[in-house]
Amino acid sequence: MKRTILSAAIALISGVAAIGAAIAADDEPIQPIRPAANINLGMVELGKKLYFDPRLSKSGFISCNSCHNLSMGGTDNIPTSIGDKWQEGPINSPTVLNSSLNLAQFWDGRAADLKEQAAGPIANPGEMAFTHTLALGVIESIPAYVREFKQVFGKDKITIDEVTAAIAEFEKTLVTPNSRFDQWLLGNKEALTKKELDGYKLFKDSGCIACHNGEAIGGNSFQKMGIVEPYKGKMPDGRAAVTGDDADRFNFKVPTLRNVELTYPYFHDGAANTLTEAVDIMGRLQLGKKFTKDENAKVVAFLKTLTGDQPSFTLPILPPSTDKTPRPTPFGK
């Protein structure tokens, strides 16, 4: 992806006024979450098994759900995730919920879509620490998987493309509609309290809406962390992977605010433990605004209305291993 594409995606705070002027009086800059559509149910069921299957990791203990736990808002609620051999990762795990709405995947946007993203952790030595070849060997050694792949894709040969396509199809179903804020957007004017509505007005008037807008309330642009004041937390040492350009260092994909009360700690380094702390930091660093205690509480109250219906499904029964299934490497070795 060329630098010009990323630059076009970056919404500068100086453009807040222009964005506000472009929004019609009766329109809202945030849209309700829509249920997943055009889903291949066979791929979803296969992808669900793969998402929860730790045998796709070198240790046999780490699955996609380890870092993107669907009972914890699609995250792991720790600053940076723990990978193979108890390695501490360099960056916070973003939520997988509503991730299909992102313009790109990972904090630096280096994966264009969910399918490309799903291939990364399997072969990352600091995460699942396997290789695609070895992961495919595990899958091919399990007859139930072989049959299911044949049923879903109509092919005898299994490749990493089919594996990641199935995982991505399952992840597309992980949307969270029907938040109280969505109910308000859809006409139920009693869904929010006065304090929550005051918080939404502050959210818009202060400029938060310039980056946190659309259906996901984020995920559709990149921003530098520390526009007005420099960020004093951890910053990755390197260039933006999207462009490889030094000018794009410290630019991150704006995270979704959907279900944000569940996805603590916050920011790329997990440095903010509470929404109160996160609102204070973002106000000062990104907007040059110091929220009062009362204003902060109102914004936080609004943010808590963004929690939608969490994905509901039956946990998969993973197909059994056979004598030919490769044995995993012990987790601590």
Catalytically annotated residue among 127, 171, 215, 295 = 127
SS3 of the chain: the string is CCHHHHHHHCCCHHHHHHHHHHCCCCCCCCCCCCCCCCCCHHHHHHHHHHHHCHHHCCCCCCCHHHHCECCCCCECCCCCCECHHHCECCCCCCCCCCHHHCCCECCCCCECCHHHHHHHHHHCCCCCCCCHHHHHHHHHCCHHHHHHHHHHHCCCCCCHHHHHHHHHHHHHCCCCCCCHHHHHHCCCCCCCCHHHHHHHHHHHHCCHHHCCCCCCCCCCCEEECCCCCCCCCCCCCCCCCCCCCHHHCCEEECCCCCCHHHCCCECCCCCECCHHHHHHHHHHHHHCCCCCHHHHHHHHHHHHHHCCCCCCCCCCCCCCCCCCCCCCCCCCC
Burial class, 18, CB count within 10 angstroms (exposed 0-12 / middle 13-18 / buried 19+): exposed
Q: Is 127 a catalytic residue?
A: yes
Which residues participate in catalysis according to the annotation?
127
